[in-house]
Amino acid sequence: MKALIEGFLKFRNEAFAQRTDLFKHLATTQQPGTLFITCSDSRVVPELLTQQEPGELFVIRNAGNIVPSYSPHPGGVSATVEYAVAVLGVTDIVICGHSDCGAMTAVAKCTCMNHLPAVAAWLQHAESAKVINESRPHADEAAKVSSMVRENVIAQLANIQTHPSVRLAQEKGLINLHGWVYDIGTGSIDALDADLRTFNSLIKQPGTCAVRARAAKAVA
**pTM for this entry:** 0.94
Cα angle 69, 59, 121; round to 5: 40
Residue 3 has pLDDT above 80, yes or no: yes
The pLDDT of residue 60 = 98
Please determine, looking at this structure, whether the domain spanning 31-201 carries the CATH number 3.40.710.10: no
In degrees and rounded to multiples of 5, residue 26 shows phi and psi of -75, -10
Output Rg (C-alpha) for the chain, integer angstroms: 19
The question of whether 209 is a catalytic residue gets the answer no
User: Annotated catalytic residue: which of 96, 98, 125, 150?
Assistant: 98
Residue 219 has pLDDT above 60, yes or no: no
Q: For residue 82, with 0-12 CB atoms within 10 Å meaning exposed, 13-18 middle and 19 or more buried, which class applies? A: middle
3-class secondary-structure state, position 212: coil
Residue ranges per domain, the chain?
A: 1-29, 31-201
* pLDDT confidence band for 217 (50 / 70 / 90): low
User: Annotated catalytic residue: which of 12, 19, 41, 100?
Assistant: 41
Type of residue found at 35: L
Using one digit for the tens of pLDDT, what is the confidence trace for 167-198?
999 999 999 999 999 999 999 999 999 888 89
Interval 78-92 mean pLDDT: 98
Region for 136 from its dihedrals, namely left if φ exceeds 0, alpha if ψ lies in -120 to 50, beta otherwise: beta
Using one digit for the tens of pLDDT, what is the confidence trace for 16-74?
999 999 999 999 999 999 999 999 999 999 999 999 999 999 999 999 999 999 998 88
The question of whether 41 is a catalytic residue gets the answer yes
User: Annotated catalytic residue: which of 96, 101, 150, 178?
Assistant: 101
Residue 9 has pLDDT above 90, yes or no: yes
* pLDDT confidence band for 10 (50 / 70 / 90): very high
Interval 131-150 mean pLDDT: 96
User: Annotated catalytic residue: which of 43, 136, 195, 214?
Assistant: 43
* pLDDT confidence band for 214 (50 / 70 / 90): confident
Q: Of the candidates 133, 131, 125, which has an alpha carbon nearest to the alpha carbon of residue 150?
A: 133
The pLDDT of residue 82 = 98
The question of whether 96 is a catalytic residue gets the answer no
Q: What is the mean pLDDT of the chain?
A: 95
**In 16-82, where does DSSP find H-type helix?**
16-18, 20-26, 46-50, 76-82
- Residue 44, CA distances (Å) to 17, 55, 100, 126, 153 in order: 26, 18, 11, 20, 15
Interval 141-163 mean pLDDT: 97
Cα angle 178, 35, 24; round to 5: 145
The question of whether 39 is a catalytic residue gets the answer yes
User: Annotated catalytic residue: which of 12, 19, 39, 214?
Assistant: 39
